[in-house]
Amino acid sequence: MRIYLTNLGKYKEGELLGLWLKLPCTDEELQTALTQIGIGEQYEESFITDYENDLGLTVDEHASLTVLNEVAKCVNGLSADDLHLLQAVIELESVSISNVVEVVGRLNEYILHPHITNEEELGRFLWKTARA
C-alpha cells in the first residue's frame, strides 16, 4: 500500500507539497515523511491526495495513518492465497479499510471456490455437496 501524503496548509495556499509513503512504515519513517512535507511548527495537518493498493480498498483523504499502517502490517503477513481470499471478501462484503484487520482475523470463516463463476455452477456445487 502506498499513500501520497500532502501538507494541508500548503495545499490551501495553492502549493502541492507531498510525497509517496509506502506502508507499513515505522513511527520514525512516518515522522520523517511528515517533516519532509513541512508538518511541524507552522503547518499541523496532512491529508491523503492519492493512494495505491492491490486490495481494491478505498482510502479516504482523512483516513487515520495509524489505521492504514495497521492494515498494511496485517496484510503484509498474509500468504498469496489468503490475499486472494481477502480481496474476494472485500469485494463481496464492501469492507471498509477500518474493518480489514477484523476481517483478516476471521478469514478462516470463508472458502473461496474460484471454479464457481455463476449461480448455476454454485447450485450444482451445493447440490453435490448436500448429497455427499
Three-class SS of the chain: CEEEEEEHHHHHCCCCCEEEEECCCCHHHHHHHHHHCCECCCECCEEEEEEECCCCCCCCCCCCHHHHHHHHHHHHCCCHHHHHHHHHHHHHHCCCHHHHHHHHHCHHHCCCCCCCCCHHHHHHHHHHHHHC
Q: Quick: pLDDT tens for 54-77.
A: 888 999 999 999 999 999 999 998
Mean pLDDT of all residues in 93-109: 92
Residue 32 vs residue 115, higher pLDDT: 32
- Reported pTM: 0.81
Annotated domain spans of the chain: 2-131
Mean pLDDT of all residues in 11-37: 96
Superfamily of domain 2-131, CATH level 4: Antirestriction protein ArdA, domain 1 (3.10.20.480)
